[in-house]
Amino acid sequence: MAENTGFVSCFLKGVVDKSSYRILVADLYFVYSALEEEIAKLHEQGHPVVAPMGFPELNRRDALEQDLIFYFGRDWANLAKQTPAAEDYVSRIHQVGQESPELLVAHHYTRYIGDLSGGQILKVIAQKAMKLEGNEGLCFYNFDEIEDAKAFKSHYSATLDALPIDQPTADRIVEEANKAFYYNMAMFKELEGNLVAAIGKVLFGFLTRRQRSGSTEGALV
């Protein structure tokens, strides 16, 4: 369902608009800031379920900050704002961190393992669609401290399987993972309006150029 939202569907087809993408980058910055803040606190406290999952090499906040500088400039902190859907997502992460910390595992897995897997495909798509050079604007997808993604994911899986939880807790974590996908889908759906507007501007510009040249033949092909 998440992959079939309009924004993600367009993204996978190579339709990526910088103005929409930078909003997503801003949203992700706030989401990861919240997640890494809660994980760090629980790691320091030695939480039996969350602490083992605190792999620092996965952290995305600093990488996203570099991307925000690229898309918004040095004044990004005053320009990048989180959308309502991102606010809800961030609120849920803090709520879980304070009330049911073990459920943070669901958000951790949903985001980081997705980034380490399919995220690498999205990087290539975004790079080509937005005509970006090297890693500019795409630091989010670079896990410089992880040399072997496959080996790391195996280690992550083993750590996950070894967590001291019972079946009811495992079921609650799975349920929370589904909620995490819901929050991600809500962010994507918010971006659909921006993407449609951007595509409309491109189409309008194309039609205008055709009219100025004295022909509209094939304009919608």
169-199 residue pLDDT tens: 999 999 999 999 999 989 988 887 655 444 4
Structure tokens at 139: 């630091």
- State how far the alpha carbon of 135 is from the alpha carbons of 32, 69, 218, in Å: 20, 13, 37
Count CB-CB contacts under 10 A for residue 176.
20
pLDDT band at 20, cuts 50/70/90?
confident
Q: Which residue has the higher pLDDT, 9 or 202?
A: 9
pLDDT tens-digit map of 108-158: 999 999 899 888 888 888 888 889 988 899 999 999 999 999 999 999 999
Tokens standing for 195?
A: 């993407």
Predicted local confidence at residue 92, as pLDDT: 98
* pLDDT over 90 percentage in the chain: 65
pLDDT for the residue 129? 86
More confident site: 33 or 218: 33
pLDDT at 2 (0 to 100):
59
Domains defined along the chain, listed by start: 6-212 (1.20.910.10)
> 146: how many CB neighbours lie within 10 A of its CB?
15
Distance CA 217, CA 205 (A): 15
> What are the residues whose beta carbons fall under 8 Å from the beta carbon of 180, sequence distance 6 or more?
106, 107, 110, 111
User: Average model confidence (pLDDT) for the chain?
Assistant: 86
Mean pLDDT of 15-36: 93
Q: What's the CA gap between 133 and 125, in Å, rounded?
A: 13
Question: Tokens 């190579």 sit at which residue?
Answer: 14
* pLDDT attached to residue 11: 74
- Residue 205's identity, in one-letter code, is G
> How far is Cα of residue 130 from the mean position of the Cα atoms in its chain?
17
Q: What is the mean predicted confidence (pLDDT) over 75-96?
A: 97
